[in-house]
Amino acid sequence: QVQLQESGPGLVKPSETLSLTCTVSGGSISSYYWSWIRQPAGKGLEWIGRIYTSGSTNYNPSLKSRVTMSVDTSKNQFSLKLSSVTAADTAVYYCASAQSGSYPGYYYYMDVWGKGTTVTVSS
């Protein structure tokens, strides 16, 4: 069973760039979609975006101008960068593996999640 582990700084200053990495163990990162999701304290889930192992990406339109995702297949890792952060970006950040396809109708769901990492934006 694939396992995911988020890592990165727990504290980021306003206007700086948040950088997180997700390490995949127990399986290969190749030929799958990988997602980032976040959750502010006491609030709901917000999908940040996804990356395929080819490097193809889709981002949440509300965050698109500030998000960059990348993948390193040699390290079995994928990463998230969120620029120009503010206090509103304070949240628990999750990485997840995803399954996708179409029948017709498209399915995309996150089947394995990391435990999450808390990122606080504060000076």
Which residues are near other proteins by CB under 8 A?
35, 37, 44-47, 49-50, 58-61, 94, 99, 103, 105-116
Cα 36 to Cα 93: distance, rounded to the nearest angstrom: 7
37 versus 85: smaller Cβ distance to other proteins: 37
For other proteins, the closer CB: 18 or 95: 95
Closer to other proteins by Cβ: residue 77 or 114? 114
Q: How far is the CB of 116 from other proteins (least distance, A)?
A: 5
Instruction: Report the nearest approach of other proteins to the CB of residue 98 (Å).
Output: 9
Instruction: Work out how close the CB of 91 gets to other proteins at its nearest, in angstroms, rounded to a whole number.
Output: 13
Nearer to other proteins, 16 or 116 (CB): 116
Kindly state the smallest distance separating residue 112's Cβ from other proteins, in Å: 8
Within 8 A by CB and 6+ apart from 23, the residues are 4, 5, 7, 75, 76, 77
The Cα 7–Cα 81 span in angstroms is 12
Sign of CA dihedral 37, 67, 92, 44: negative
